[in-house]
């Protein structure tokens, strides 16, 4: 016999890959139950119809109900809706008084003009932009714990921010930073398109949205909050022939006086106590070490001094659907509900 869990969650937008990961974590969560799963697809069908690994693990079915109906009686609403759709739905949840964790980009930015420039639409509820706490626990854990609404970061944003946060806090970021990041096909969502269909990209590498990706402004906003207000980000994303994972390579120019010991101390101080960020000591970060888990890896290589400068190459790796998406949303939910943030997230990924 199973025991009823004390806390209830609604998953809204339940058929995508992010929702699958949230539901997987909720099904094994000892304290939070998924009460309803709202979707306009697979209505009336069990979870396994959209997410085969969840077949037979729950009596839940997909329901075509409003966000208010889905979240009624719940402690938290987990939103897995697309960008530009979420903003239309949040006001009715705000009226309900439920806590919200949103995975879209609609409430990550505080500046409505920046949102409109990168997302191409007028924000329907700009007054709510400042009400959401940016959900990167490694930067804002205390604020997340007391938050009513949290905007979970984007996948590229999380991986780049974790790579650069220790340097931002130390005042070592200034001027242009060049970043390239490779990502898996699952980041494009469950619906295939000509440029994202895996059979096409499986044997291919290609860049897209160079210098214009919509995660750019949230990265800049986060680095400014951490102590680097004058950074210029030159970010080029790359579509990679794998399903899960992001590998970031960032190039930072630092003074020649910055040595390896100082950089090691900065990263160790930033992440030694973080439950989901690790710095491997015998290798550089790699996707296979974190895929399928909520863990992220960071590492660096410091080049030789030349003309008074050094190139510091910082690398990070994570699973775009978990630490870069739904796992981080569950981590934020745990913090908001006063639970151990690692609950249902501490399992390592498979190897190889």
Catalytic residues: 155
What's the CA dihedral at 186, 209, 326, 184 to 10 degrees?
A: 30
Rounded to an integer, what distance in angstroms lies between the CA atom of residue 123 and that of residue 128?
10
In DSSP terms, which residues pair with 10 in a beta bridge?
A: 36, 77
In terms of Cα–Cα distance, which of 49, 48, 52, 47 is closest to 37? 47
Distance in Å from the first CA to the final CA of the chain: 36
Cα 330 versus chain centre, distance: 10
| DSSP 8-state class, residue 46 | B
Angle (nearest 5°) at CA 298 between 293 and 304: 160
Rounded to an integer, what distance in angstroms lies between the CA atom of residue 197 and that of residue 201?
7
Q: Where are any strands of DSSP class E within the chain?
A: 7-12, 32-38, 62-63, 76-79, 99-102, 133-134, 149-151, 175-183, 206-207, 231-239, 246-255, 277-278, 296-302, 309-318
């Amino acid at each position: 016999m199973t025991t009823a869990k004390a806390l209830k969650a609604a998953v809204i937008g339940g058929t995508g890959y992010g929702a699958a990961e949230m539901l997987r974590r909720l099904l094994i969560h000892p304290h939070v139950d998924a009460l309803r799963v709202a979707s306009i697809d697979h209505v009336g069908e069990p979870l396994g119809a959209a997410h085969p690994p969840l077949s037979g693990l729950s009596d839940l079915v997909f329901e075509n109900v409003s966000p208010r109906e889905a979240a009624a009686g719940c402690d938290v609403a987990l939103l897995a809706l697309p960008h530009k759709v979420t903003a239309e739905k949040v006001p009715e949840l705000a009226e309900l008084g439920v806590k919200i964790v949103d995975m879209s980009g609609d409430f990550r930015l505080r500046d409505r003009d920046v949102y409109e420039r990168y997302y191409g639409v007028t924000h329907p509820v700009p007054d709510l932009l400042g009400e959401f706490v940016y959900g990167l626990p490694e930067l804002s854990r205390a604020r997340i714990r007391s938050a009513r609404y949290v905007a979970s970061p984007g996948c590229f944003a999380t991986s780049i921010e974790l790579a650069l946060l220790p340097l931002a806090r130390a005042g070592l970021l200034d001027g242009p930073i060049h970043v390239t990041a490779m990502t898996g096909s699952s980041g494009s969502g469950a619906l295939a398109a000509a440029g994202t269909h895996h059979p096409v990209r499986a044997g291919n590498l290609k860049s897209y949205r160079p210098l214009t990706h919509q995660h750019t402004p949230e990265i800049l906003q986060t680095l400014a909050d951490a102590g680097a207000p004058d950074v210029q980000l030159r970010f080029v994303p790359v579509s990679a022939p794998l399903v899960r994972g992001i590998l970031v390579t960032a190039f930072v120019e630092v003074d020649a006086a910055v040595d390896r010991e100082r950089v090691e101390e900065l990263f160790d101080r930033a992440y030694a106590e973080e439950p989901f960020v690790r710095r491997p000591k015998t290798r550089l970060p790699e996707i296979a070490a974190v895929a399928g888990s909520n863990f992220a890896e960071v590492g660096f290589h410091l080049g030789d001094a030349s003309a008074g400068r050094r190139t510091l190459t910082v690398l990070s790796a994570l699973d775009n659907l978990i630490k870069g998406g739904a796992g981080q949303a569950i981590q934020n939910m745990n913090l908001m509900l006063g639970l151990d943030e690692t609950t249902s997230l501490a399992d390592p990924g498979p190897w190889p």
